[in-house]
Amino acid sequence: SELSDDSLGDTPVPMPNTAVKP
Mean pLDDT (the chain, rounded): 60
Which residues fall within 8 angstroms of residue 8, CB to CB, at 6 or more apart? 1
- Note the pLDDT of residue 17: 64
- Note the pLDDT of residue 13: 64
- Note the pLDDT of residue 3: 57
Q: What's the rounded mean pLDDT across residues 4-22?
A: 61
Report pTM. 0.11
| DSSP 8-state symbol, 19 | S
Distance from the first to the final alpha carbon of the chain: 19
Residue of higher predicted confidence among 1 and 20 = 20
- Note the pLDDT of residue 1: 46
